Amino acid sequence: MALQATRVKDPFFMVFGGGAVFGVSQLYLYPVKSCAGIPVSRATVTETGFQYDRQWMVTDKDYKFLTQRQLGRLVLIQPTLSMTSAAPNDSRVPDSTGPKAMEGARFIISAGTGPGGNSDSGSPSLPTTVSIPLHPSPGHLAGLSLVHADVWGDLVPAYDEGNEVARWLSTFLERPVRLVRYAVEQASEASLANLNQRLPVPVDIRTFRPSILVGPGASPPEDPKHSPVAGMPPFIEETWRQITISPDSSSSSSTSPPSEHQRRVAAAGPEQHGPTTPLLVTSRCSRCVLTNTDPDTGVARPTHQPLRTLASYRRVDPGDKYRGCFGMNCVPIRVGQVISVGDIVSVQTTGEHRRVEIV
């Protein structure tokens, strides 16, 4: 069904209703800033974004945060979230329905693989993994140092996660570092496809590290020439001001066999996939040199891509005229809901966006 638009007083603002045409195609968690991500099938929305997303960061010995700008090898560090009942390499998101369910849950860090597929530990003496409690008890937190980490000149309170994980990271990164725990970006398949058509070598979505990747909601016809993102204009997400994400209920009205996602949702139960999740789409995400780091090698691409191409045609925000934009920042209106791959994305309102720097 086509979206019905109702124009209101503000000429740059429209209200949409009448059906959804987009869907959640991929979800990612990035527990440690600048480190590798974890693809997941569902994620819980909290006040600060997805649960377990960007909860930790690596700092220097003076607690100034570090990113791939200084240390490209950060992207080769693979975080894992694991319960005691799961295998150590299980990337399932632990259920957070109560304190008992979280006992024994661990946040595990391991060395990723290099371009040849071999472990890239950086040292023969480096243990395969190191782990810390995912949900530390009050007693554990009391044993950690409360520090102030420097993030872009702002001092934010954080817990130093201790010497064991710091030694592991320092060995892998070949410089003294610390790991601290500190207090939702969204993009679309169509926008990525549009950019890749212009690049000499295509990139995948890990380059931009969004939590939510949005694609067409309806399945395309069986036509080999049909684009996988047909029906979704590139950068359409830049017109959105508010969206809702809700479980796909098509299985109840369709005579066709349920999809794998529908079977997973049904098996999980209503408490796992929950009601509609509203999100405010707040601003474009302007891109920096971190975008040029190859997520498979941790090395900046010598071609300066894709940032060079983004700068050639994506300097579109009137509040940030000199940087190319890709993806949108979102803020949850209501927390506690679970978003799953295959959920339906409905556009509620649209309008103009302009970045405003707060100094």
Kindly report, residue by residue over 263-294, the tens digit of the pLDDT: 443 443 433 445 788 888 888 888 888 899 99
pLDDT at position 283 = 83
> Does the residue 42 lie in any domain?
no
Round to whole Å and give the CA distance between 299 and 69: 10
Same domain, 239 and 309: yes
- Mean pLDDT for all residues in the chain: 76
> For the chain, what's the residue count?
359
Q: 150, 183, 216 — which closes off a domain?
A: 183
> Does the residue 284 lie in any domain?
yes
Q: 183, 198, 230 — which closes off a domain?
A: 183
Q: What is the token pair recorded at 154? A: 């702002």
- Domain count along the chain: 2
Average pLDDT over residues 237-249: 88
Same domain, 178 and 190: no
- The residue among 275 and 76 whose pLDDT is bigger is 76
Same domain, 19 and 68: no
Same domain, 73 and 92: yes
Round to whole Å and give the CA distance between 312 and 195: 11
Model confidence band, residue 253 (pLDDT cutoffs 50, 70, 90): very low
Is the per-residue pLDDT at 139 higher than 90? no
Same domain, 342 and 194: yes
pLDDT at position 17 = 35
Q: 183, 200, 218 — which closes off a domain?
A: 183
pLDDT at position 90 = 39
> Does the residue 178 lie in any domain?
yes
> Does the residue 33 lie in any domain?
no
Is the per-residue pLDDT at 186 higher than 50? yes
CA distances from 149 to 50, 67, 231, 242 (A): 22, 14, 45, 33
Same domain, 224 and 142: no
Is the per-residue pLDDT at 41 higher than 70? yes
Same domain, 253 and 310: yes
The pTM is what?
0.61
Model confidence band, residue 66 (pLDDT cutoffs 50, 70, 90): very high
Is the per-residue pLDDT at 15 higher than 50? no
Q: Is 273 exposed, middle or buried (0-12, 13-18, 19+ CB in 10 A)?
A: buried
pLDDT at position 238 = 93
pLDDT at position 217 = 61
> Does the residue 49 lie in any domain?
no
pLDDT at position 35 = 93
Average pLDDT over residues 54-74: 92
Round to whole Å and give the CA distance between 358 and 349: 25
Neighbours of 238 (CB within 10 A): 21
> Does the residue 276 lie in any domain?
yes
Same domain, 78 and 21: no
Q: CA-based diameter of the chain, in Å?
A: 66
Same domain, 148 and 13: no
Same domain, 85 and 172: yes
Is the per-residue pLDDT at 167 higher than 80? yes
Round to whole Å and give the CA distance between 213 and 192: 10
Residue type, 160: D
- The range of the structural domain enclosing residue 270 comes to 4-25+186-350
Same domain, 217 and 341: yes
> Does the residue 127 lie in any domain?
yes
Q: What is the DSSP letter of 290?
A: G
- The residue among 48 and 86 whose pLDDT is bigger is 48
- 3-state class (DSSP) for residue 214: strand
User: Best-predicted range by mean pLDDT among 23-27, 100-104, 219-223?
Assistant: 23-27
> Does the residue 234 lie in any domain?
yes
Same domain, 220 and 166: no
Q: How far apart are the first and last CA of the chain?
A: 44
Residue carrying structure tokens 């040849």: 116
